[in-house]
Structure 1
């Protein structure tokens, strides 16, 4: 979301910085009309029935994990009406408990219960596992939460991935827009247009406060990654005096417009591609040659033939241009994947799409049986209610041109296709707009930002830390998000903040090891 009110940034320290009285003052009372939700008693039990993927089916069998669902109003303005259920997964604290640490991995649309299971495994025996119940949750509409966002069946998901709209002519634009409208219509039909309006960040932030109360915490301790930072920021705005600690890693800047956000993310992925290319061209057998300056052109020469002639993946499917770029994008999230990406590009050059197809499957959360989670459908649905649609033809063209120019490695070479996306045809209006956060009384927060983050560029973290009046931990490296992964510089600072509320020193920074 993009910056419409940047001129107010100077004022943010006054309106959303720290307030010593807020550290000790009790939080405001919970709304009486929502008492039935805030006071509900949770029934925790085995997690096996909460699995939304084949990998979850295995990890959720861990006996140290338990799960439940929290009942929330579908529409907070009508709490006596329809309800939704938010799925929670927990690993109980093993020591002197402070409270609960809620975690969200982002997306939007990624399963937080799945993330919670993996975090419980990696953090459970450490200081955070001793002092906190570790809780991952599926935001409303996602994963094991009910009702779930649903737009396409598995066959339709496979079919969508074979499509590439690369014709910039009026006919090509019309075809692309017809496909976008069909997707929006299917979401409305399968999920229910009366539900889609309530799937955005505005409502998830309110769910988080119900979850906080339902587990018995007076204040919220939270770690959000990528889109999870948007949830954390929204919670801070809605309930600043109920925040204990917020870690926001891989920041989304709430002031950015949809156009600016998309262009900056495209530029971030081009930077990540350039960093990958520098590494690849320094090694033997790099399909991009030996000159980093020519790497984008070499990559285009390998990938653009897929526009007209897809290559076999090896399981009866084929890899086209868009799917190949999805696989490449997946590998650019983390520099550890660079060797796999080098192999995938080399395979395409020799007529095989196996590796990039598997990477794209990972991005789309498609398992070996051809089953998809609802993560990408939820991503689109949540995005469309989280930001105003781009419908003006001049702005649609501006967006297409600027993103094409910002990430030439993704360009088809045929010209940008100025087509409206699915959000332009969404059946319900957005529930929020770009804005500068306002969270008076918010205690100190911690933003972590990686200099070479492709999906959430570094500057967004700098800006968000300033907007919230919090601390910034700068991380030199090439990956998307960085904390609570075992790094000996980053994690002690984050853990000290979460447990003892000790902020890193001003100007603190860490460096990730090279790929």
Structure 2
């Protein structure tokens, strides 16, 4: 089966900015766990008391023990890594953060870039909590390929002509080797790496931190995690912000198609801006520039560009680099540099962009396991689709509305060879009985297109839509005082924004 390649990974921040000085947190505090109403078999988990240790200026860290299988708690345990920056002012509870993915490290997001994750008002009022979901990073993690094998998987050249049976067979063989390595190296956790289990873990984290209800900001995939939490625990979902929403009712085939259309729209916006800078490698109208860009992709598809480290820049790697820069308007100058260099036969900048997406360091090591966790969650969360008519219809829409990316946006579904069948469903989430849930959408968000935020806000019984008019992925703490005020007043004071608030 052919799948449309979705790329809704954690937000890539290539802003080049310096983070503001992080305020010190008070001495470490342990609060009484909230274990009211917990079943006897789960009580040992919900009643555990945490031991905090200092882990950097203003931060302390701990591990939370969770069941491997929430349906069978006696079948084993996993560890969840937590980092905390305690409220610098009046403590109003914990605020959990998920940066997206699936597979993004909330631990690193908070510990490395606290003031990028949240504004100063939230730092003052909340213990800001970063956590690595099950399967991710410092928690009990999915492990697949070593660095050399990962390089070959991400960047290796396939000699067979694209879209031929031989090309598909080689990709399928690579996907099978990848899946086999994940199964061999992950210690039996793969069937339990699901968003439902992660949402249950999040309720456990809430409880052992001593909070009776959840305060939460989820970005990108983190919106699906947050909505799933609200579905499971609506009475505890009281102040949730879901920024850059994924529509939980959209099937995987449509996810890939819609994202391609979103990146096509973002590319046109980038080229319009590029042509106005005086440094753009293209000339003429946006359509002229787009034609030249497509010609460049076609050239690289025929003849990959050599890099100084021996890797070859394939068209797939180039597309990864391009879409990486689409996540933030502040990254557009990097794309201009990369395209200018590529036109001169220099692949280095495009590799730097793609390496950022793939979490690859300059020395060839991989900084985290986000790609492995991304694969594990998606293969368990998304039902396998095998509808040739639906595939053909999606490809037709793709070719019409995303003609630049369409030739490079399909291939064998890697989840077809995953060692476990998916258990997730794609359906609307109402979260009946929850508190207000604020959904933030950005009008030209390429990775999680705006219509998904509109749809999720409509599905949720108590959904409230806040719109940021602009470019880039997600809206909070991205320069809009209007969005920031709406989010922060909601989380701090419980002031619910006007549904439909539009921040120009």
Tell me the TM-score normalized by structure 1. Answer: 0.86
Task: Give the SS at the match of 1:432.
Answer: coil
- For 2:161 and 2:381, locate their aligned partners in 1 and report how far apart those are by CA, in whole Å: 27
Query: Given the alignment of the two structures, is residue 367 of structure 1 paired with residue 361 of structure 2, yes or no?
Result: yes
| Superposition deviation, residue 122 in structure 1 | 4.8
Name the CA shift for 1:472/1:505 in 2 (closer, same or farther; >3 Å). same
Task: Report the aligned-residue RMSD.
Answer: 2.2
* Equivalent position of 2:415 in the other structure: 423
> What secondary structure sits across from 2:216 in the alignment?
strand
Matched, 1:135 2:143: no
Residue from 74, 79, 87 that aligns with 1:85: 79
Answering whether residue 268 of structure 2 is matched by residue 260 of structure 1, we say no
Q: 1:64 and 2:58 equivalent?
A: yes
1:334-345, aligned counterparts within 5 Å?
334-345=328-339
Q: Which residue of 2 aligns with 1:178?
A: 173
Is 2:197 aligned against 1:191? no
Q: Answer yes or no: is the 8 Å Cα contact 1:64–1:91 preserved in 2.
A: yes
162-171 vs 498-507, greater mean Cα deviation: 162-171
Aligned CA distance change for structure 1 residues 122 and 327 (closer, same or farther; 3 Å): closer
Cα deviation for residue 340 of structure 1 reads 1.3
Residue matched to 2:238: 244
Q: 2:202 aligns with which of 193, 198, 208?
A: 208
Q: Distance in 1 between matches of 2:394 and 2:171?
A: 15
The answer to whether the Cα contact below 8 Å between 2:442 and 2:473 also exists between their aligned partners in 1 is yes
Tell me the distance in 2 between the aligned counterparts of 1:476 and 1:213: 37
Deviation readout 1:297-347 (Å, 9 max, x if unpaired):
211211222223222333333322111111111001111111111111111
Deviation of the 1:66 alpha carbon: 1.0
**Cα deviations by residue, 1:44-68 (Å, 9 ceiling, x for unpaired):** 1133xxxxxxxxxxxxxx3211111
**Equivalent residues of 2:98, 2:218 under 8 A apart:** yes
Measure, in 2, the Cα distance between the counterparts of 1:395 and 1:125: 43
Structure 1 segment 388-467 matched on structure 2, within 5 A: 388-392=383-387, 395=390, 402-412=397-407, 419-467=411-459
The answer for the alignment partner of 2:500 in structure 1 is: 507
Give how far 1:471 is off. Answer: 0.9
SS of residue in 1 equivalent to 2:444: coil
User: Are 1:396 and 1:420, in contact at CA under 8 Å, matched by a contact in 2?
Assistant: no
Q: CA deviation at 1:229?
A: 0.2
Equivalent-residue separation in structure 1 for 2:401 and 2:176 (angstroms): 26
Q: Quick check: 1:105 aligned with 2:91?
A: no
- Give the direction of change, closer, same or farther, for the CA distance of 1:244–1:412 in structure 2 (3 Å limit): closer
Which string of whole-angstrom CA distances, capped at 9 and with x for unpartnered residues, describes residues 176-224 of structure 1?
22222222222112224x3211111010000001000011001100000
- Aligned partner of 1:386 in structure 2 is 381
What is the count of residue pairs matched by the alignment?
Answer: 468
Determine the structure 2 residue equivalent to 1:482: 475
Q: Structure 1, unaligned stretches of length 5 or more?
A: 3-25, 48-61
| Secondary structure of 1:408 counterpart | coil
Deviations 1:350-409 (CA, angstroms, capped at 9, x unpaired): 000111110111101111221111111111111110101234555555555554554322
**C-alpha displacement at 1:436, in angstroms?**
1.4
Q: CA deviation at 1:28?
A: 7.5
Contact 1:327 1:360 in 2 (8 A): yes
How many Å separate the matches in 1 of 2:161 and 2:65? 45
Q: Which has the higher contact order (CA 8 A, sep 6+)?
A: 1
TM-score normalised to structure 2 length: 0.88
Structure 2: segments with no counterpart, 5+ residues: 5-33
